[in-house]
Structure 1
Amino acid sequence: MNRKLLAMAALTGLTGLAYLEPAFAQEAADAAGQGSDAAAEAVSGGGVSAETAYIFNTLLFLIGGFLVMWMAAGFAMLEAGLVRSKNVSMQCLKNIALYSIAGIMYWVVGYSLMYTNVDGGYIGTFAPYAWDPVGGNALDTGYSTASDWFFQMVFVATAASIVSGTLAERIKLMPFLIFTVILTGFIYPIAGSWKWGAGWLDAMGFQDFAGSTLVHSVGGWAALAGAILLGPRLGKFGTGGVVHPLPGSSIPLATLGTFILWLGWFGFNGASQLAMGSIGDVSDVSRIFANTNLAAAGGVVAALILTAILYKKVDVTMVLNGALAGLVSITAEPLTPGPLAAILIGAVGGVIVVFTVPLLDKLKIDDVVGAIPVHLLAGMWGTIIVPATNSDASFGVQLIGIVAYGVFTLVASFIVWFILKLIVGMRVSEEEEMIGLDRAEVGVEAYPEFSPTGSVR
């Protein structure tokens, strides 16, 4: 217990430095920035044309979009590594299916619900989204409309991937995919319209730069609702509060998935600048990249040190999730923090993982990959701390946004999951869970040579 108190006291003290750090950073920036306006004027020649800005803005969306799309591979590998070998094919199948469903649903209805005619309200227009004609342009918007749709679409798949990992190893495929249709086509877009679609929370001044709450906590709340109704895996919890570890199939795969997600996050946060047509925009994108990297590193180091102190051994899965929690934490505001603040914000995300994973076990909530601590709780932390570095945000409005997203997503998801449970059932049978979903639901085993019924190669 003393070790826990010592660790928490040290981290709390460090976090306090984050409030002092922006002042020092501003002094340095003022000194370094003398004459920068004149230099920028000389380089840019007074600004770029609308056509040039259009091209660079569109390029930012496309590059950022395919980096975020690459995160789908990261989630697939992370989940494949953290589930048992008998369920790996199922996780791979779910991830490619959910990405595809998200893309279709976000075209059919999702984008319009999120961005069309919200006008300070709560929901947009029910309609498929149409982009520019062949050879057309949208100079009035400053970027290609198709590039914007693509960039926004890949975020939707991220939210669905969070749900996939939490409910792994015991959920049926079809109910999961049906829920994905509703999440990506309706729940996520409606919630997203409140801020990014210029809805009511945006009018209040709620700040969430790249989606700590809009993307990550929405996915986390949906996952939590499903986990409560689905129940834990067989053998996870014993009598008397005993927790039985169910180790994953491949730490190398989980590590690869983490690095892929880390790489993709540069698109996730960096391209959320939404513009690259000026020197200022490019400078800000660079700053976002640097802060994103530092926050992830802070999450890793914090998780590594804490697990070494608390458990006498370093838990590699905690460290991997520490990186992801650091990334989620900085996503709400990756631009305004200085380097020290970015590290500390990410480090607190790592601390959240270390302390809340066992808390979920005590509550008998089975989260296979640790997505609820990483995406839901670290997402809430990242959102509430935004005013510490961004003077345009307030703690009160940030809290209102967190609560609004939590209540809406949890209630909506719980209703959908409950209906699915009543109509088609959510969970496979005990026998199917024991033999693994690869054999029971997919029919193609990821590692057939290790199966009792497989042939040795």
Structure 2
Amino acid sequence: MKRLALLPLAAIPVDSWAAVGDEPVNTVWLVVAAALVFFMQTGFALLESGMSRSKNAVNVVMKNYMDVCLGSMVFWAFGFGIMFGLNETGFFGASHWLPQFSDEWSYTFLLFQIMFAATATTIASGAMAERTRYSGYLVGAIIITGFIYPVFGSWVWGGFFGGKGWLSELGFIDFAGSTVVHSVGAWCALAGIMVVGPRLGRFDPETGVARLIPGHNLNNVALGGFILWLGWFGFNAGSTLQADSSLGKIALNTHLAACAGAVGTFLAQTL
């Protein structure tokens, strides 16, 4: 079986793409992976609300909830076409708005990509917790899922329906979204916190020294971390876009990376 991945999709032969969709096990695997990525929203909600003060916990959870609901609709309607539509310029796609496909496999791929888009938005929401108006945040979520994320994504993964992104033309490779998803979410978060500023009471008004604002439920933080850990098996291994022999190695690397990060953080805090 030929191996595919979220590399420049324009480089994938049409017959190979169709052959992958003809294998039911590939469809099942990608739907399961999409469900695991969706479940990561629960992890983000628990982690971010647990790290917030109790008075803001519900607001944080509702932002995560609407990330999925609103972001999914926007990406389905416009974002997917910008990211994967016909990309003749190398900068963005311009086809397949409100997409309808002639093959069932493309719907599975769309589902998986919707979950990626929602994840990028959720990363930004955590950074701006406790100091962003709900209505303002929803506007930001629309902009991220409908424009910022798909435009950058088209530079790297674009060309599903023809053409190729300019970064992929230069040989840029992002297997599972470390730049396309997580860095874009982080850049949006950085821009957001530069605009909204720190939380009220975060710094002493006289000395400027940072004050500790502890989260109200560290048990939820730990549980959320474990859920995110689980979801990342779907995020990374699902990026093969098919059930093949590489899944075990990808999942193992994901697990060991998480373990090494936790151990490294523990040592840095205790030594």
TM-score normalised by the shorter chain: which range applies? 0.7 to 0.9
For 1:78-97, what aligned pairs fall within 5 Å after superposition? Answer: 78-97=47-66
Q: Which residue of 1 aligns with 2:41?
A: 72
1:98 CA drift (Å): 1.2
Q: Does 1:253 align with 2:220?
A: yes
The one-letter code of the counterpart of 1:81 is G
- Between the aligned partners of 1:130 and 1:208, the Cα distance in structure 2 is 25
- 1:284 maps onto 2:250 in alignment: no
Contact 2:86-2:95 within 8 A present in 1 as well? no
Counterpart amino acid of residue 115 in structure 2 = V
Judging changes above 3 Å, is the alpha-carbon distance between structure 1 residues 76 and 108 closer, same or farther for their aligned structure 2 residues? Answer: same
Aligned to 1:200: 166
In the superposition, relative to structure 1, how do residues 283 and 216 fare at CA in structure 2: closer, same or farther (>3 Å)? same
The equivalent residue for 2:5 is none
Correspondence 1:17-36 to 2 at 5 A: none
SS in 1 for 2:246: helix
Matched with 1:55 is: 24
Match 2:125 to one of 155, 159, 164: 164
Give, in whole Å, the separation in 2 of the partners of 1:57 and 1:193. 24
Letter in 2 for 1:240: T
| 2:256 alignment counterpart | 294
Given that residues 131 and 145 in structure 1 are in contact (C-alpha distance below 8 angstroms), is that contact kept between their aligned partners in structure 2?
no
Whether 1:112 and 2:73 are equivalent positions in the alignment is no
Which structure exhibits the higher relative contact order, with contacts defined as CA atoms closer than 8 Å and separated by 6 or more residues?
2
**TM-score of the superposition, structure 2-length normalised?**
0.87
**What is aligned with 1:182?**
143
Give the C-alpha shift of residue 201 in structure 1: 0.6
User: Structure 2: how far apart are the matches of 1:166 and 1:150?
Assistant: 26
In 1, are the aligned partners of 2:81 and 2:99 still within 8 Å (CA)?
Answer: no
Residue equivalent to 1:415? none
Choose from 242, 248, 253 the match for 2:209.
Answer: 242
Give the drift of 1:52: 8.0
Give the 4+ runs in structure 1 shifted more than 6 A: none
Q: 1:266: which partner in 2?
A: 233
**TM-superposition CA deviations, 1:284-318 (whole Å, max 9, x none):** 11110000000000000000001001xxxxxxxxx
1:306 maps to 2:261: no
Q: Which residue of 2 aligns with 1:450?
A: none
| Aligned equivalent of 2:97 | 128
Instruction: Evaluate the alpha carbon distance shift between residue 200 and residue 50 of structure 1 in structure 2; reply closer, same or farther with a 3 A threshold.
Output: closer
How far apart, in 1, do the equivalents of 2:87 and 2:34 lie? 24
Question: Which AA in structure 1 matches 2:171?
Answer: G
Which AA in structure 2 matches 1:169? E
Q: Give the alignment's Cα RMSD to 1 decimal.
A: 1.7
1:375-454 matches, within 5 Å, as none
| 8 A Cα contact 1:109 1:126, kept in partner | no
Instruction: Report the residue type matching 2:87 in the other structure.
Output: V
Give the % identical residues: 42
In 2, the alpha carbon distance for the partners of 1:263 and 1:90 equals: 25
**What are the ranges of 5 or more consecutive residues in structure 1 without an aligned counterpart?**
1-48, 139-143, 277-281, 310-457
CA distance in 1, matches of 2:21, 2:202: 57
The residue aligned with 2:113 is 152
Letter of the 1:98 counterpart = D
For residue 195 of structure 1, give the secondary structure of its aligned residue in structure 2. helix
Query: Is contact 1:77–1:253 with CA below 8 Å preserved after alignment?
Result: yes
**Who is 1:212 aligned against?**
178
Measured at CA, do residues 248 and 51 of structure 1 come closer, stay the same or move farther in structure 2, by a change above 3 Å?
closer
TM-score by length of 1: 0.52
